[in-house]
Amino acid sequence: MSTGVVFDVQRYALHDGPGIRTTVFLKGCPLRCLWCHNPEGQLGDPELVVRPERCLAECRACLSACPEKAIRKKAGRVRVDAGACRSCGACAEVCPTGALELAGRRISAADAVAEAARDAVFFEESGGGVTFSGGEPLAQPEFLEEMLKACRDRGLATAVDTCGYVPYEILERIEPLTDLFLYDLKVMDAAKHLKLTGADNALILDNIKRLVRSGARVVVRIPVVPGVNDDEDNIVRTAAFLKSLDSPPPVRLLLYHRLGCVKSRRLLRGRVGRVFPFQTAADMERVRRRYASLGLEVDKGD
């Protein structure tokens, strides 16, 4: 029985594939996108998250719980020494307010699927299912494979939300077990992609080509980040690339938001990423129309 690290399970998700879904978020990602919406999912291991504003002045429960003596109080608020913390989670277990929380828990594939399957009745009625996201779910391939098999055994539809930056052999292995791939594309220019995500996009583009050719059902998701990938050059190049595939997949545009920046401030390892401007509904509509005018089937999320 394989186990893996999951940092969230969100029920009644409406934007991670068709129908009502439960989304299971797996830890670990090979990319470091500067606009990352889930920075607590980047590292593979559980990680302490600190919200000092929730700390109770009169409480000292975590100080005695910490085996590393990594915690002190200053001006009535908790302070954690990042160099001493081992992310064991002992403090989070005793914290009454959620000021200390562990992002990530180790769980068996069977238990994760049993948790996701609680809403199976809604999946049936809405054409939904279970989506595996992250982080990057393919960064834990054995765990993911076992969860997909368990879903299939229970008759649950599945989707895998991937950045595509993995050896193709992994995609090939899970493709027969997956009903839908939500495949993220960010920026077409290779140098810009490297600068913004920490990785070149050649593997990502090659993988989607092969995945579409294999007959897999794919929806491309593009996070529209102002000043990053909403310009004419990137839109035209992305559309040309998608139309060059054996069967151009539909495109769903995702709205950039700043929740990732807020979450990033709570990480013990310090802030990651950058703040980008908000886009308006009119900006998103302009991008959607432009993709549509280039012959793609495209819609936009909320």
Q: Coil, strand, or helix at residue 121? A: helix
Question: Rule CB under 6 A: is residue 43 a binding residue for ligand SF4?
Answer: no
# residues contacting ligand SF4 (CB under 6 A): 27
Of 63 and 255, CB closest to ligand SF4 = 63
Which member of 56, 236, 245, 294 binds ligand SF4 (CB under 6 A)?
Answer: 56
Question: Rule CB under 6 A: is residue 13 a binding residue for ligand SF4?
Answer: no
Of 87 and 201, CB closest to ligand SF4 = 87
Three-state SS letters, 35-55: CCCCHHHCCCCCEEEECHHHC
Distances (CA, A) of 107 to 2, 21, 26, 111, 246: 9, 20, 11, 7, 38
Of 100 and 150, CB closest to ligand SF4 = 100
Instruction: Tell the smallest beta-carbon distance from residue 105 to ligand SF4 (Å).
Output: 13
Instruction: Report which secondary-structure segment, H or E, holds 79.
Output: strand 77-80
Of 71 and 220, CB closest to ligand SF4 = 71
Q: Which stretch binds ligand SF4 (CB under 6 A): 63-71, 115-123, 158-166, 211-219?
A: 63-71
Of 81 and 206, CB closest to ligand SF4 = 81
Distances (CA, A) of 298 to 86, 219, 295: 45, 10, 9
What pairs with residue 71 in β-bridges? 80
Site for ligand SF4 in 77-106 (CB under 6 A): 78, 80, 85-91, 94-97, 99-100
Q: Which long-range contacts (CB under 8 A, 24 or more apart) does 272-275 make?
A: 272/32, 272/36, 272/39, 272/42, 273/32, 273/33, 273/34, 273/35, 273/36, 273/39, 274/34, 274/35
Question: Rule CB under 6 A: is residue 70 a binding residue for ligand SF4?
Answer: yes
Question: Rule CB under 6 A: is residue 160 a binding residue for ligand SF4?
Answer: no
Q: Which stretch binds ligand SF4 (CB under 6 A): 58-66, 114-122, 187-195, 274-282?
A: 58-66
Query: Is the distance from CB of 34 to CB of 229 less than 8 angstroms?
Result: no
- Relative to beta strand 105-108, strand 129-134 is unpaired
The binding site for ligand SF4 (CB under 6 A) comprises 48, 55-56, 59-62, 65-66, 68, 70-71, 78, 80, 85-91, 94-97, 99-100
